[in-house]
Amino acid sequence: MKLLHIDSSALGNHSVSRQLSADIVAQLQRAEPGLRLHYRDLAADPLPHWTPAAGASDPAADAVLAEFLAAEVIVIGAPMYNFAISSQLKAWLDRILVAGQTFRYGANGPEGLAGGKRVIIGSSRGGFYGKDTPAAGMDFQEPYLRAAFAFIGITEVTFVRAEGIALGAGQKAQALAEASQQIELLAA
C-alpha cells in the first residue's frame, strides 16, 4: 500500500500537527510494515500560488498531483491558522483539485474522480471548535477539508484532533494523550 504523508505547519519541531501526522503514520506502519511511504513537507518545500501560467505547465505541480493519485492513503498534518488551513496546504490543494484529473463536470454536475482513497488528518487548534462550543461556527478548517475531498470523490476522511493547544502545557498534554488514543484505533 502506498501512503502519502503531508505536513503543512510552519512551526517546525514545535508543531503539534506534525507530531500528530508522524504518530498516525507510525501507527499505520506498525499495522502494515510493508507500507510504501512518500513524504512532502509543504513548509520546507513550499508550492507557489497557482497561476494560469503555472497551471498550464509546471513539472513540480505535475509531480505533486502524480504522487497524490498514486497514493491509497493520505495522511495530512493540518494546523488551524485563522480559522482555516495554512496557506501552504491551500497551495497544495490548488494542485490536487484539478478538472479532468480529480473531478469533472458531467451532465449532472461535478463528479469526483479520485474515490477509493483514505484520508487521515491530524488537526491542531489553539482553541476549541466542537459542535457544542461557542466557536463551532468559526471552524472553516475541518468542513473545508471534508468538502474539498468529497468534491473529488473522497468521503473516507478521518480527523484526529488536538484542541486547546493555546491553553497551556496541561491542556496540550491532555489533547495529545486523547489524540494518541484516537490514533491507536486507526489501524483497527
Ligand X SMILES: Cc1cc2nc3c(=O)[nH]c(=O)nc-3n(C[C@H](O)[C@H](O)[C@H](O)COP(=O)(O)O)c2cc1C
Q: Residues interacting with ligand X, by CB under 6 A?
A: 9, 11, 15-18, 79-83, 124-127, 165-166
DSSP annotation of 165 reads G
Place of cell 498550464: 56
Residues 5/38, Cβ–Cβ less than 8 Å: yes
Residue type (1 letter), 169: A
Query: Closest Cα partner for 91 from 118, 55, 116?
Result: 55
CB of 22 to ligand X, least distance (A): 11
Q: Nearer Cβ to ligand X, position 65 or 138?
A: 138
Largest CA distance in the chain: 53
Residue 133 or 155 having the CB closest to ligand X: 133
- Minimal distance, residue 162 CB to ligand X, in Å: 7
CB of 36 to ligand X, least distance (A): 25
CA–CA separation, 173 and 123 (whole Å): 15
Q: How far apart are CA 53 and CA 29, in angstroms?
A: 39
Write down the least CB distance from residue 172 to ligand X, Å.
8
Nearer to ligand X by Cβ, of 82 and 155: the residue is 82
Phi and psi, residue 108, nearest 5°:
-100, 20
How many whole angstroms separate alpha carbon 164 and alpha carbon 170? 10
Q: Which is nearer to ligand X, 125 or 152 (CB)?
A: 125
- Integer CA distances (angstroms), 185 to 27, 156, 171, 176, in order: 9, 15, 22, 14
Could you tell me the smallest distance in angstroms from the CB atom of residue 173 to ligand X? 13
- State in angstroms the smallest separation of the CB of 144 from ligand X: 13
d(CA 12, CA 10): 6
Q: CB nearer to ligand X: give 68 or 81.
A: 81
Q: Which is nearer to ligand X, 2 or 172 (CB)?
A: 172
